[in-house]
Amino acid sequence: MFEQLTGKFEDLFFRIRNKGKLSPSDLDAALREIKLALLEADVNFKVVKEFLGNLKERALGKEVMESLTPYQQVIKIVNDEMTRMLGSSEGSVNFSSGGPTIFMMVGLQGTGKTSSVIKLANFIKSRFGKSVALVAADVYRPAAVLQLMDMAGKIGVDVYSEKSMDPVSISRKGVEKFTRDGRDAIIIDTAGRLHIDENMMLEVENIRKAVKPHQVYLVLDAMTGQEAVNIASAFNKRVECDGLILTKLDSDTRGGAALSVYYVVKKPIKFVSSGEKIEDFDIFHPERIASRILGQGDTLTLIEKAQKVIDEKRAMELEEKIYRDEINLDDFIEQLRGLRKMGSMEKIFSMLPIPNKGRILKNINFDESYLDRMEAIINSMTPAERKKPHIINGSRKKRIAKGSGNPVSEINKLLQQFSKTRQMLRQFSSMKGKASLPFGKFW
Amino acid sequence: MQMLFKNLNLLWNKFKKSNSQFWEELEEQLISSDVSVDTADMIISNIREYAYSNNINDTGIIRDLLKKEIIKILNCGINEKLKFSGNPPSVYLIVGVNGVGKTSAIAKLAAMLKKQGKNVVMAAADTYRSAATEQLQHYGERLGIEVVHHQKLSDPGAVVYDSLDKALARRSDVLIIDTAGRMQTSFNLMEELKKIKRVVFKKLDRDPDEILIVIDSTTGQNARHQAEVFHRAIGLTGVILTKTDGTSKGGIVLTIKNELQIPVKLVTNGEKIENIDLFDPEKYTGAIFT
């Protein structure tokens, strides 16, 4: 997300950077660029105006105008203001002490409520070790209940549903049942509704009154346009939201809706959902997104992701192996799997602090199937071949090719890639004494 | 569609003569209707240049210029009527990202065509999302329209192949293909759609008669990019704009037409199955200026 906005700022500051001191006309040009960039990012135009007002006031101050590094000052101010706009506190989950904590999800159709319910359930279950149950209160969309049950089955979570068409009573009964069962958390999936649909808004108000949830989350599509603030205001007014879940951040949206919504309704973004996998769900970190807008990349998230999937001890062993130049195809495939657990290549790449990423990303097709092929090839090797790749001769290659369903040329390509990686690691480790993990070899 | 560009009238009341403040606010109004910055910029510089060289500063006249400019963009050459093949079935391939209302839009389109007396078959080629097939089947039962489907996670190409067989055997007029809704950044999705297109070509010796992208009208500037990416991968023939009752301002209609030359063909605006209309440029521009 935010790639395009980041690109704009990068271009703009690159121009200013070469000039040193900032003139008032430079500042105006900069402000106009920032304004357009924010509008293009779907930030609400009223929010943009206020943002620019604050920015100008601060930018005209001595700290910038007299600075020899004005662009850094402007970046700092933009960063500060942006972080402020995104809300300063990090979201987390508060559980109630007596009885189950009840969560309720509301939002427009198609924003990803049902997926978010599943992802939140999984998050609560795996992060806090709590028992979670779901209530299917979307009685309108055909097969919505089926979708929820299907996905809940995958994460081993119970769902309460019934044939009735009364979501208020379904919610009440569901909550009663799971309270009796002594669950720690109950999440209610409500139907998608338009914020201007009076009957449907009344219904969601009634569900809220009936079950008295501890946390009401508005699920908002990160690609929403100028209407985002009206949507958030309307829902907040009727059911008083405790926070937002921002979805579809894996799209290439600039996600300005996130900026304006907090600013207008003053409700924190609690979680972000950024992919098709159930694990693609995390607590929202405002300062990270702000740095990302400014082209500094979201390396913190990336590092955390890496930490989650890479075992410290294994990593030490691996470093040792690299140092002694004993790395083999077993290590190679392990790294490959670890990398893939972090998400798609494209997603990992998008989190790296590389200038003009948006433009680069546009021109690259990440061939995920290449990684599949690599895994298939290595899986078709014998343990001995994986340990000592140099023993792989012509007839072995033919066997591996047949076993993995690839032409021999692919086997050669992989072995070349491996030996190059190994060579690079060797150089790297002799240079630094110790090497870091071989990320970056695959793109 | 009354809500499109709802705030524009305030502007004419506020300014009787144009000045830089006026132009700035006009630009803001267009952008806040989700018109892209580029298209808004183009529209305004065209009018502004014309007004300047003809010494016009009466905002009443400028309003007419704006109307002309918008009509010019919308009417630019391309027919927004749905295309029917002389050699049935006509194949409509429906694509789009997740959550835009693809399956509902397909049901509405199928109902509309059926009402016109056409024999319709639907193909459940979204084998990816859980319960997507069931959702389409539900509509099929309600409408009395056959839905060709396979098991979940089966090959969408095979579903399309079978549905073409079925449509040919039944001499159906139209085959509507529902596809998986995934992010436009998904490489796999684009490959899957290209494959579906190839299957249609192999069988009928022509491309699908319509390749329509479904766009949620509450989407912001990303809508243009969605259309662009799908267009580049499989070549779009039109847009179905959904959820237009959500006080969305529909500026993307202008953007997509202006920047990608893809016309909006259908508009949906409500929960009921009959809430679908052919897009009418006259009505659209009328809504802006009344």
Q: Is residue B235 part of a domain?
A: yes
| B113-144 confidence digits (pLDDT tens) | 999 999 999 999 998 887 889 999 999 999 99
| A80-138 confidence digits (pLDDT tens) | 777 777 765 556 788 888 889 999 999 999 899 999 999 999 999 998 999 999 999 99
Residue A390: DSSP 8-state: G
Q: Which domain holds residue B198?
A: 90-289
CATH number of A326's domain: 1.10.260.30
- Contact of B33 with chain A, judged by CB distance below 8 Å, is answered with yes
User: Same structural domain for residues A28 and A77?
Assistant: yes
Q: Is residue A92 part of a domain?
A: no
CATH number of A16's domain: 1.20.120.140
User: Same structural domain for residues B39 and B101?
Assistant: no
Q: Is residue A225 part of a domain?
A: yes
Pick the residue from chain A with its C-alpha nearest to B98: A110
Among the ranges given (A86-95, A223-232, B203-212, B226-235), the one the predictor scored with the smallest mean pLDDT: A86-95
Give backbone dihedrals phi and psi of A19, rounded to 5 degrees, phi first. -100, -10
Collapsed DSSP state (helix, strand, coil) of residue A190: strand
Closest CA to A215 of A102, A120, A87: A102
More confident residue, A9 or A149: A149
User: Same structural domain for residues B23 and B106?
Assistant: no
User: Same structural domain for residues A105 and A248?
Assistant: yes
- Name, of A383-397, A424-438, B38-52, B233-247, the range with top average pLDDT: B38-52
Chains A and B: how many Cβ contacts under 8 Å?
125
User: Same structural domain for residues B161 and B44?
Assistant: no
Cβ of B138 and A143 within 8 Å? Answer: yes
User: Same structural domain for residues B97 and B227?
Assistant: yes
pLDDT confidence band for A348 (50 / 70 / 90): low
Report pLDDT for A60.
75
Q: Is residue B279 part of a domain?
A: yes
Q: Mean pLDDT in chain B?
A: 88
Among the ranges given (A77-81, A145-149, A276-280, B103-107), the one the predictor scored with the smallest mean pLDDT: A77-81
- Residues B290 and B288: their CA atoms lie apart, in Å, by 6
- Residues B122 and B131: their CA atoms lie apart, in Å, by 16
- Contact of B44 with chain A, judged by CB distance below 8 Å, is answered with no
Cβ of B34 and A225 within 8 Å? Answer: yes
More confident residue, A320 or A148: A148
Place of tokens 């989407």: B219
| B180-193 confidence digits (pLDDT tens) | 987 766 778 888 99
The two three-digit tokens of residue B187, written as one number: 């490489």
- How does DSSP assign A19-32, residue by residue? T-SPPHHHHHHHHH
Q: Is residue A440 part of a domain?
A: no
Q: Is residue A95 part of a domain?
A: no
Q: Is residue B281 part of a domain?
A: yes
Report pLDDT for A360.
58
Among the ranges given (A26-35, A206-215, B21-30), the one the predictor scored with the smallest mean pLDDT: A26-35
- Contact of A226 with chain B, judged by CB distance below 8 Å, is answered with yes
Q: What share of chain A is helix, strand, coil (3-state, %, to 5)?
A: 60, 10, 30
| A353-395 confidence digits (pLDDT tens) | 555 555 555 555 566 677 788 888 888 898 888 888 888 888 9
User: Same structural domain for residues B227 and B276?
Assistant: yes
Is residue B34 within 8 A of residue B220, CB to CB? The reply is yes
User: Same structural domain for residues A393 and A246?
Assistant: no
User: Same structural domain for residues B156 and B239?
Assistant: yes
Residue B224 has pLDDT above 80, yes or no: yes
**Mean local confidence (pLDDT), A25-41:** 77
Place of tokens 């090497």: A435
Residue A72 has pLDDT above 90, yes or no: no
Residue A68 has pLDDT above 60, yes or no: no
Q: Is residue B81 part of a domain?
A: no
Residue A22 has pLDDT above 70, yes or no: no
- Contact of B222 with chain A, judged by CB distance below 8 Å, is answered with yes
- Contact of B140 with chain A, judged by CB distance below 8 Å, is answered with no
Report pLDDT for B171.
94
Last residue of a domain, one of B31, B50, B75: B75
Q: How far apart are the first and last CA of chain B?
A: 12
Q: Is residue B55 part of a domain?
A: yes
User: Same structural domain for residues B274 and B133?
Assistant: yes
Report pLDDT for A261.
85
User: Same structural domain for residues B219 and B248?
Assistant: yes
**Mean local confidence (pLDDT), B211-224:** 90
Q: Is residue B80 part of a domain?
A: no
Cβ of B218 and A227 within 8 Å? Answer: yes
User: Same structural domain for residues A81 and A137?
Assistant: no
Partner residue facing A252 (CB), from B31, B185, B219 = B185
Partnered with residue B90 across adjacent β-strands are: B174
pLDDT confidence band for A276 (50 / 70 / 90): confident
- Contact of A372 with chain B, judged by CB distance below 8 Å, is answered with no
User: Same structural domain for residues B54 and B96?
Assistant: no
Q: Is residue A55 part of a domain?
A: yes
Report pLDDT for A347.
64
β-pairing, A269-273 with A243-247? parallel
Report pLDDT for A345.
63
Closest CA to A373 of A347, A321, A399, A336: A336
**Mean local confidence (pLDDT), B198-210:** 96
Report pLDDT for B290.
56
Last residue of a domain, one of A59, A85, A111: A85
Q: Is residue A217 part of a domain?
A: yes
pLDDT confidence band for A432 (50 / 70 / 90): very low
User: Same structural domain for residues B229 and B278?
Assistant: yes
pLDDT confidence band for A58 (50 / 70 / 90): confident
Partner residue facing A142 (CB), from B33, B139, B247 = B139
What count of Cα atoms within 13 Å lies in the side-chain half-sphere of residue A48?
Answer: 21
Last residue of a domain, one of A85, A120, A140: A85
Residue A300 has pLDDT above 50, yes or no: no
Among the ranges given (A147-156, A213-222, A431-440), the one the predictor scored with the smallest mean pLDDT: A431-440
The two three-digit tokens of residue B72, written as one number: 């010019």
CATH number of B280's domain: 3.40.50.300
Report pLDDT for A441.
34
Percent over 90 (pLDDT), chain B:
56
Partner residue facing B221 (CB), from A141, A225, A227 = A225
Q: Is residue B82 part of a domain?
A: no
Collapsed DSSP state (helix, strand, coil) of residue A34: helix
Provide long-range contacts, Cβ within 8 A and 24+ apart, for B19-26: B19/B57, B22/B59, B23/B48, B26/B66
Domain total of chain B: 2
Q: Mean pLDDT in chain A?
A: 79
As a residue count, chain A comes to 443
Q: Which domain holds residue A164?
A: 101-296
Report pLDDT for B24.
86
- Contact of B154 with chain A, judged by CB distance below 8 Å, is answered with no
Cβ of A224 and B138 within 8 Å? Answer: no
Q: Is residue B267 part of a domain?
A: yes
B162-176 per-residue burial string, b: 16 or more CB within 10 A, e: under 16 = ebbebbeeeebbbbb
Mutation target vs B (from A194, A219, A247, A372; most B CBs, 10 A cutoff): A194
pLDDT confidence band for A158 (50 / 70 / 90): very high
- Contact of B184 with chain A, judged by CB distance below 8 Å, is answered with yes
**Mean local confidence (pLDDT), A179-185:** 95
Cβ of A151 and B130 within 8 Å? Answer: yes
Domain total of chain A: 3
